Each structure stands twice: as structure tokens, then as C-alpha cells.
A and B are shown apart, each in its own frame.
Chain A
Amino acid sequence: MSAAAVGAPPHVRGAAARFDHLLGQPVSMRALALLRVLAGPVVLLHLRPFLSDALNGRIYSDAFYEPYAAWYPELPGAAYVGLLWLAAVAAVAMSLGFLTRLATATTFAIVAYNVFLSTTHFHNNRAYLLIVLGLLAVAPCGRELSVDAWVRRRRGLPALAPSAPAWPLWLLRFECAAIYGASGLSKLVDPDWFGGTVTWQRVVRARDELGALPDWTVSVLTDRSFHTGAAKVIVLTELFIAVGLWWRGTRYAVVWVAVAFHVAIEFSASVQVFSFLAIGVLVIWAVPSTRDRVLRIDPTAGRQRRFGGLVRLLDWLARFRVEPAPPGSPLEIVDRDGATIRGAPAAAFALSRLPLTAWFALPALLLPGVRRARRKRATIAAAPT
């Protein structure tokens, strides 16, 4: 318990103790390990314009820039360029999980140094990248999905515990939700935004870029009254994402909406690495436990065997243990609560829990047949034994 809570009333002490327990409780770092893997390419994408300039013999100080502070250290050109290349190498090592802690901390330190060199370097997507890298650097997320773990296995050393105190995960969840919340709130309190003026003007000014769309679409998109509603949908979507991520009942719907939202942004605006990063970060909302669902396949049935292979290949969050079932058995999933789901609904359910296929498979869970199977499953699980 924190020192400040020691002299506090009992209910405050209780809340502080629960909070401490929540943050200190060991949870699986698998989602952060996967995010670490995904973050490497995002860092390379982020560094690309700086490295491209460097290859052409230019660095930030050759043109207008504005230091945050006079005391902030600036390196000679060659050393600065060397540092950028070191960051690129470190980002690759971070993704591979080679000397993971060192690589991640190095990536974070150099990316942060570069961003804070000038106010002109700062963008929202880079701020988000800094937050993600900072939290990956403090979390032990190199114990899985890493060269480090492979080397330990090769040397016959015992694997390091894949669980660790939950606070970096919770902090990243807070930051993830805060970003959508801050963005949505700033639009909600701005009458021009919430009323549709901002989006309408942006679209009207970009009318020339809408040339590929059918006339009726252009007509709708440039209609002022359309934006009166559309702006509210955008604002409420951001707030829905910020709030809905915290509840299991809405989380899958939110993740689906968030992916669609970011894909739409990526195609309609220039946001540097934001879309890739934001979609990647969504993996941290997976329940931080692993192999707690069982997928049973009949290895004598070709389709089931192939499906099992697909799940093994794409189960980057380690949701499933794949086990053999007796010949002639249907595909079966045993969920965390012990309930079972069989056949096509089980396949849809499994695909909805894999990062790469979740967005496509989640709507299938709304089909009547799958819903009936899931309801039956829930009833069985709730029945007294």
C-alpha cells in the first residue's frame, strides 16, 4: 500500500490496497510482447523521413527548427545521423527480441531525443509512439516471441516467467483510452467541430481529391447538413472507443469500430504512423492470460487439421491450446468458463480471437446460428453442477 494511504480512513485504505493489488498482480506480458514486435516496423516508418533526409545530406538543423530548450544537447551532424541509424538497428532488434530490454530502451531513448530536438518534430502520432516505446522499455516483454527466449531454450536454460506486474499494461491501457478521450472531448466542447463546420469545410476544400468517387457520393459528402450528423458520429465514436474499451461487454465491438475508424482515417488524412500504431496497440486489450481456451480438432479430418494449423500460426496472443479430439468429433472450443461450442460457430469464435482475423470474424458472432450456439454455451456454463 502507498505511504499516503497509511493514515487514511479504512475505505480509502481498502481502495488503495485493491489498486496496489491490481497494478502489482502478475499478468501475462504476451500482448506487450506482440506489441513490441509490431512496434519495430512502426519505428522504422517513423524514422524513414529523417533517414531519407540524412541520405540526401540534410538534417533538421539545416532548415528552420525550434529547440524546446537552449540547454538541450545537440550533436554534430555525423553523430546525429549515426544515432538515427542506431535507432533503426535497435528497432529491428526490438522487434526480433534480441537483447530486448537494451534494444527497446535504446529505441525509446533515441526516438525521444529526436522528437524533443525541435517543436517542429512533434506530432500526435509521435507522442503516442513515445508513450508506447517508453512503456515497452519498462515492461519485461522480451520473454516471449523473442530471439532472447529462443537462445535460452537452445542453451537449455529454463524459460523466464512470461508474467510480470500488471502496471505497465494498465498504464498503456489508460494512455490508449486517454488519447481517444482527449481527442473526442476536444471536439465535443468545440461548437464548430460538434456542429459539423470543421469536417464540412475540410471536405469542401478537398473537393478536387474526391474526383474518383461517384457524383452522388461527392454530393452527399459536400452537403452541409450531412456533416451536422457526421461530426457527431465521429465525436461519439472517439468517446465510445475511449470508454467502451474498459468493459468486456463492449470491448470487441469497440475494437472492431476502432480498426474501421483508423482505416478510414488512414485513407482520408495524412497521419504518419498513427493508424498502424493505434491498431497495433489494440492488442493490449486482450485478457492478459494465455492458453486458457482449448481448441479440439480431429487430426484425421483434413479440414480440422488445417484449421488447427491456421490457429497455431495466427494465435499470436496465445489464446488457445490446440488438442486432438477422438476421430469423428466436430471442431470444439472449450472456453475459459468451461463451456463448449462446436462446429462452424466454434470456427467463427476461434477466428474472432486471432489478431489478424478478428476484425473479419467478429461480425460472424452476430449470425443467428453462432449466437444460438453461444447462448446455449452460456446456459450450460451457468447451470449448477
Chain B
Amino acid sequence: MVVVAVVLLQVGFVARGYLSDHKEFAFQMFPESSTWRADVVRVTADGRRVPIERPWSGYRWDELVQDRGLRYPAVRHHADAGLDNQLAFLGAALDWVADNTPRDAETRYLEARVTSWHNADPPRVGVLRSRVREDAG
């Protein structure tokens, strides 16, 4: 029973990998040559759009977000585990920064204007936003 259960679970994970942003146990190695870059800004309560390359309230983006190729989003990077995976991480990072910068009283939300190149396809532009910080301003 254990063996059958593990085999079925593994087959299920492999199938799930074709549908999910995160592909745990799906073993899709080097899936894409896709690349991406993003202009990430903080949108303040008074409407200013401040690039995250500028430190704010004692925070630095490159200290807050260090993993999964997100440290310098303005630089064009390879999406190691595919674009969907990469953009899911970027979206989660925006939320994490919005939720974990308590000294910042002015940012309402973070926004990333993402340019992505899926393999050899023409570039696509999209926008990701963090959760809105209700206590800002």
C-alpha cells in the first residue's frame, strides 16, 4: 500500500507540475529560456511612485528580498524555473515587503511593471501589485 500510494502521489505531482506555478516534486528541469525584468516602485499615500532602488525608512529592497533572483529586479534575469514560477515569487515578494516594513508609514502598496520574454516570444508587459497597506499615510 505504501509503495502504491507513493507511486500515485509522484504521478500526481508530475501532472500537477503542468498546471501549477510552483512545481514541487514535478521535476521539470531547466523548463524555459524565458527572461524578465521589472521596475518596482512604492506607491505612496500621496500618489508618488518611488523606485525601490532608493532606500526608504531604513529599508533596502536588496536586503529584504535576496532569494530566487529577485534581488535586483531592474536587471534582466533568466526565469530559472519558468516565468509563471518567477512572477509568482515576485508577487509574493511584493506582499512580503508590504507586510514586513513597519517603519514605513507612507507606502500604500508596491507595484512592479514587469517585462517578460517567454522563450523566443515577443516581450509582454504586465503589472503586479502588493496588498494595500491600510495604515499608510
Contacts and interface: CB of A to CB of B under 8 A. Distances in A.
B89 A120 contact: yes
B22 interface: yes
B64 A63 contact: yes
B115 to A, nearest CB: 15
A119 B119 contact: no
Interface of chain B, main secondary structure: loop
A186 interface: yes
Given A63-B65, A66-B96, A198 B22 contact: no
Nearest to B76: A205
Most buried by B among A124, A127, A171, A197: A124
Contact of B65 (A64, A175, A186): A64
A65 B63 CA distance: 12
A174 B6 CA distance: 10
Given A64-B67, A186-B17, A205-B33, A197 B119 contact: yes
Interface stretch (A177-185, A320-328, A365-373): A177-185
A204 to B, nearest CB: 9
Interface in A65-117: 65-66
Interface in B74-116: 78, 89, 92-93, 96-97
Contact of B27 (A64, A179, A192, A201): A179
A305 to B, nearest CB: 45
Identify the interface centre among A178, A186, A193: most chain B CB within 10 Å of its CB: A186
A337 B76 CA distance: 60
A94 B111 CA distance: 47
Contacts of B33: 192, 197-202, 205
Given A119-B22, A201-B33, A202-B78, A182 B67 contact: no
Contacts of B92: 64, 66, 119
B1 A2 contact: yes
Given A122-B22, A197-B120, A198-B33, A186 B28 contact: yes
24 contacts: A63-B67, A64-B65, A64-B92, A65-B67, A119-B89, A120-B68, A124-B29, A127-B27, A128-B27, A131-B25, A167-B2, A174-B10, A178-B10, A178-B11, A178-B27, A182-B14, A182-B17, A186-B28, A186-B29, A192-B32, A192-B33, A198-B31, A198-B33, A269-B30
Interface of B: 1-3, 6-7, 10-11, 14, 17-18, 22, 24-33, 35, 63-68, 70, 78, 89, 92-93, 96-97, 119-120
> Shortest 3 CB-CB distances between A and B: which pairs?
A201-B33, A182-B27, A186-B28
Interface of A: 2, 23, 63-66, 119-120, 122, 124, 127-128, 131, 167, 170-171, 174-175, 178-179, 182-183, 185-187, 190, 192-193, 197-202, 205, 269
